[in-house]
Each structure stands twice: as C-alpha cells, then as structure tokens.
C-alpha cells in the first residue's frame, strides 16, 4: 500500500486548464482538461475534455527507458502542435501537466514516483528503481516542451478524486480492468510507514494534515501464495508471465488474465479429446496461441442472447477458426461464467477489506475499467459478494448501503483535479 500525498478529496470548486497523460496497459492517452468548478450548470458539465489515444506498439512493452520516454514525449509534442497549445504556452508560461502512471510506485512527494515493478505485461529495462517522473521530465526538457509536471498519480486515486468532484458520496476509487486495484482516504495517524512528525505531512500553518489517499496496490496481495486457492491454470499463467511470483491477486481477477484462463482450460479439454475432437489438430492452432482470447470474448459469450447463440459460434469461427457443437457451447458458457464469477467475487473482497478496516458503512465505490463497465454481469455478482461479506440485507444492487457506480475519468479528469489541488496548495504555501 502506497502513500500518494493527495491529502483531501476535491471541493468541487477546482478550476483551470491542464494537460494530462495516462500511461496505461494498452494505450497512451493525452488529454486537455478544462475544469469549470462552481460555474458549471450541473454536475454533468463540470469539465470539458479533448483527447487523443495512441496505441502502444508491442515492441514498447519490452524496450528500454530511453525509447519509452522518447515515445511518450513525441506523442505529447504531437498533441501540443495539433491542438495549437504551442501558441498559448512557452518556456516562461508552461502548461501544468498531470501524469497518471498506473504502476506500483513509491512516492516521496506528489511529483515523484519510483517504479517498484512493472505490471500488465510490461518489462521495460531501466525504469524499475528509478523516478519515472524525473525520466519523463528530462525527456520533455530535451524536446523543449512547454510543460510543467505537477503531479504523478495512480489511476485508482484519479478515479476516487474525479468521481468525488461530482459525487460527494464517493468513498473508494476502484479499477477493475486490465489490472485490479483500489484507493481510499485514510487517516494519517493510521499510516505506520510515516512518522507523524514528517514535515511533508504539514499544511501551510504547520499542522499535520488529517487525511491521505492510499493506493492499495492489492493486485499484489498474497504474492507469497499463503491465502488464495490457485488452480493449475493460475500457476501456469504466473510461470509464463514477465514477473512470476508477482501480482498474485491480479492474475486471478483482472481482465488481462481472464481470457487466458479460459483459453488454457479449452486447450486442456482439447488435448484430452473432450472438445473439437472431429476437427484437425492444426484447426485449433489459434487456440494454442497465448492470449489469443481476451476478456471481451468471455463477456460476449455470457451476453449472447441470439437464437442458437449464433454470435458466439461466429466469434469462435472468426477468432479461433473453430466450429462449436451444441454440447461444447454449453460447456464453454459455463466455464466463462465460473471464471467471471470468481473474478467479481475477488474484486468485492478488496473493497470489503477497505470498508471493514476503515469502518465504512455506506457510500459509492467509483469503478473504472473494462471488466466493471463492459462485462454484463460483473456489477450484480460484485454486489452479491459484498452483501455476503458485509452482512447487508440486500434489496438490490443499486439500493444497498454501499453500491458500485461508474467512475468519472480518473486518468484524465481526476489527474487534472489533483494538479489543480496541488497548484492551489503551492500558492497557499507561498502566501504563508
């Protein structure tokens, strides 16, 4: 669990224009965000956003630090030119930049982030153990970009803050997508990693601030494998991953892995002659390609309401080049359900742990990510599991004391709001 140096949730009054970047698992996203604060007519118009998304070349995931940050800086440069921002900002009037870096990082300050380890399939040399913010800052200076890096955040913290900007009932920001993680506001007195006398915890008047956002990084829960029951498929995924022995919880529950678990089960069934027995061995070649099935594949299987499940049959033909018999289809739907149910229930465990630790009894869990927002049954299964753990007398997933809501854009808008909060804090310190 990592401290973030975000000391409060937003007031909803934050304003300004900011550039943000999100270094995610699949894409690099660059956004220009304008916050309207109290001048907004309603909560749905509290910000404007212009954005571009750049898909990472596969080679980037296993390159080196210089190539990574050169790629990021080049996309920032493209965005600045394409949006005409070079006319508004220069070396003397830099545009504030927020950096969403959604990987485990140790932060000595809000504009600093030493990467602990790569996750989500990344294995880029020369970044682990180094300040990612400093590396990006150096590359921006090299390219003379008119940007001032104000803050580095995790996407969970961004989701928490962005959602609280419009919804004060927000208690937790969660990511249930490529990875699995959450953030919440903790009392500073319960953070044993920090001394209460740490000057970094003081406000402008010298008083210790009461709260701090915590990035749980619970995707790494049970790396020692002493708690969670693993299947042989989970063990194989771990062994073949870029970081065996790490992100144990995530490998059982996150979107990056659910499709691969499904594929491994199907491969075993095929090897045992239980499925596709009447099709040529080379006819299931695509099935034997690692990560050839993604989580969206499982979502579509469970969401298929076509007669005779023609959409699922077509998907098997298009993606894997395989024809599916009726009996096989029934098995595949059940396997997809089992994998997704386990993932949803594990995700509920992470949130329940926070609620039990902090004594939280009501509020909104702002969830972002493809699994939370695109899987047809995730929210219902998640809510049922949370009810069972916390002892709610459930009256429906939208009426429980703690409910899951769709997070506002944490990596874009949330990052901008945190940058605005940090700039305001700096001004107050200077005035003092």
Q: Taking 60 as the threshold, does the pLDDT of residue 194 lie above it?
A: yes
Q: What is d(CA 348, CA 217) in angstroms, rounded to the nearest whole number?
A: 15
pLDDT at position 282 over 60: no
User: Which one is predicted more confidently, 282 or 59?
Assistant: 59
Residues 221, 219: Cα–Cα separation, whole Å: 6
pLDDT number for residue 284: 78
How sure is the predictor about 262, in pLDDT bands with cuts at 50, 70 and 90?
very high
Residues 97, 107 within the same domain: yes
- 245 with 363, same domain: the answer is yes
173 and 200 part of one domain: yes
pLDDT value for 283: 61
In this predicted structure, what is the pLDDT of residue 374? 84
Share above pLDDT 90 across residues of the chain, in percent, rounded to a whole number: 76
Instruction: Report the CATH number that the domain containing residue 177 is assigned in CATH.
Output: 3.40.367.20
Please give the pLDDT value at position 399: 78
**What is the average pLDDT across 171-197?**
91
Q: At which residue do the structure tokens 């220009």 appear?
A: 32
- Do 24 and 56 share a domain, yes or no? yes
How many CB atoms sit inside 10 A of residue 99's CB? 25
- HSE of 149, CA atoms in CB hemisphere, 13 A: 25
| 6 — pLDDT class (breaks 50, 70, 90) | very high
Query: Residue 51 is encoded by which pair of tokens?
Result: 């954005």
CA distances from 284 to 119, 254, 298 (A): 30, 26, 18
231 in the same domain as 138: no
Q: Read off the pLDDT band of 281 (50, 70, 90).
A: low
What pLDDT score was predicted for residue 242? Answer: 84
Q: pLDDT at position 396, please?
A: 60
* Cα dihedral value 39, 424, 30, 294, nearest 10: -90
Examine the pLDDT at 407 and tell me if it is beyond 80. yes
CATH of the domain at 23: 3.30.420.40
**Can 333 be counted among the known catalytic residues?**
no
pLDDT (mean) for 224-235: 96
Our count of domains for the chain comes to 2
Residues in contact with 347: Cβ distance below 8 Å, sequence separation at least 6, in sequence order: 174, 176, 180, 253, 371, 372, 378, 382
Over residues 43-51, the mean pLDDT reads 86
State the catalytic residue, choosing from 102, 163, 166, 186: 102
Indicate if 161 and 182 belong to the same structural domain: no
272 catalytically annotated: no
Least confident of 149-153, 239-243, 414-418, 419-423: 239-243
Report in angstroms the alpha-carbon separations of 231 from 225, 234, 251: 12, 5, 11
Which among 361, 315, 35 is positioned nearest to 172, based on CA atoms? 361
Q: Which domain holds residue 378?
A: 169-407
Mean pLDDT score across all residues of the chain: 92
199 within 8 A of 215, measured Cβ to Cβ: no
**Nearest 5 degrees, angle CA 250-CA 378-CA 122?**
30
**Cα end-to-end distance, the chain, whole Å:** 32
Same domain? 154 vs 191: no
Give me the catalytic one of 22, 29, 111, 117.
117
pLDDT in tens, 360-402: 999 999 998 888 888 889 999 999 999 999 998 765 657 789 9
Lowest mean pLDDT: which of 41-55, 61-75, 80-94, 288-302?
41-55
Q: What is the pLDDT of residue 350?
A: 95
Candidates 155, 368, 400, 408; catalytic one? 155
Instruction: Examine the domain organization and report whether 76 and 205 are in the same domain.
Output: no
pLDDT digits (tens, 9 = 90+) for 110-122: 999 999 999 877 8
Dihedral of the CA atoms 324, 326, 328, 331 (nearest 10)?
140
The reply to whether 251 and 349 lie within a common domain is yes
Per-residue exposure over 119-145, b if at least 16 CB sit within 10 Å of its own CB, e if not: bbbbebeebbeebbbebbbebbeeeeb
Please tell me whether residues 395 and 424 are part of one structural domain.
Answer: no
Active site residue 292: no
Same domain, 110 and 153: yes
Shared domain for 219 and 131, answered yes or no, is: no
């Amino acid at each position: 669990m990592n401290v973030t140096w975000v000391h409060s949730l937003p007031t909803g009054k934050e304003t300004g224009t900011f550039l943000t970047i999100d270094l995610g698992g699949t894409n690099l996203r660059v956004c220009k965000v304008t916050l309207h604060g109290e001048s907004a007519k309603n909560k749905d118009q509290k910000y404007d956003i212009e954005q571009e998304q750049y898909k990472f070349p596969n080679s980037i995931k296993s390159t080196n630090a210089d190539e990574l940050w050169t790629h990021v800086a080049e996309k920032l440069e493209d965005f600045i030119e394409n949006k005409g921002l070079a006319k508004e900002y220069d070396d003397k009037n830099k545009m504030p930049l927020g950096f969403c870096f959604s990987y485990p990082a140790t932060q000595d300050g809000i504009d600093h982030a030493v990467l602990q380890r790569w996750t989500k399939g990344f294995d880029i040399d020369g970044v682990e153990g180094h300040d990612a913010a400093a590396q990006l800052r150096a590359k921006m200076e090299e390219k003379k970009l008119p940007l001032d890096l104000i803050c580095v955040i995790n996407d969970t913290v961004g989701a928490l803050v962005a959602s609280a900007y419009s919804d004060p009932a927000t208690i937790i920001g969660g990511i249930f997508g490529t990875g699995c993680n959450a953030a919440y506001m903790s009392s500073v007195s319960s953070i044993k990693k920090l001394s209460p006398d740490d000057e970094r915890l003081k406000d402008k008047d010298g008083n210790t601030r009461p709260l701090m956002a915590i990035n749980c990084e619970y995707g790494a829960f049970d790396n020692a494998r002493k708690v969670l029951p693993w299947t042989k498929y989970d063990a194989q995924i771990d062994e073949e991953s870029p970081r065996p022995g790490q992100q144990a919880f995530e490998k059982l529950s996150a979107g990056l892995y659910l499709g691969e678990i499904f594929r491994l089960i199907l491969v075993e069934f095929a090897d045992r002659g239980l499925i596709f027995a009447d099709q040529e061995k080379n006819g299931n070649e695509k099935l034997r390609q690692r990560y050839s099935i993604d989580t969206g594949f499982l979502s579509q299987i469970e969401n298929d309401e076509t007669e005779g499940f023609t959409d699922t049959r077509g998907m098997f033909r298009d993606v894997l080049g395989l024809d599916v018999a009726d009996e096989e289809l029934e098995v595949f739907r059940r396997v997809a359900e089992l994998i997704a149910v386990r993932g949803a229930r594990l995700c509920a465990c992470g949130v329940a742990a926070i609620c039990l630790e902090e004594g939280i009894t009501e509020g909104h869990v702002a969830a972002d990510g493809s699994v939370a927002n695109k899987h047809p049954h995730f929210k219902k299964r998640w809510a049922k599991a949370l009810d069972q753990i916390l002892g709610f007398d459930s009256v429906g997933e939208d009426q429980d004391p703690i409910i899951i809501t769709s997070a506002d854009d944490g990596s874009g808008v949330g990052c901008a709001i945190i940058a605005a909060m940090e700039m305001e804090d700096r001004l107050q310190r200077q005035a003092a």
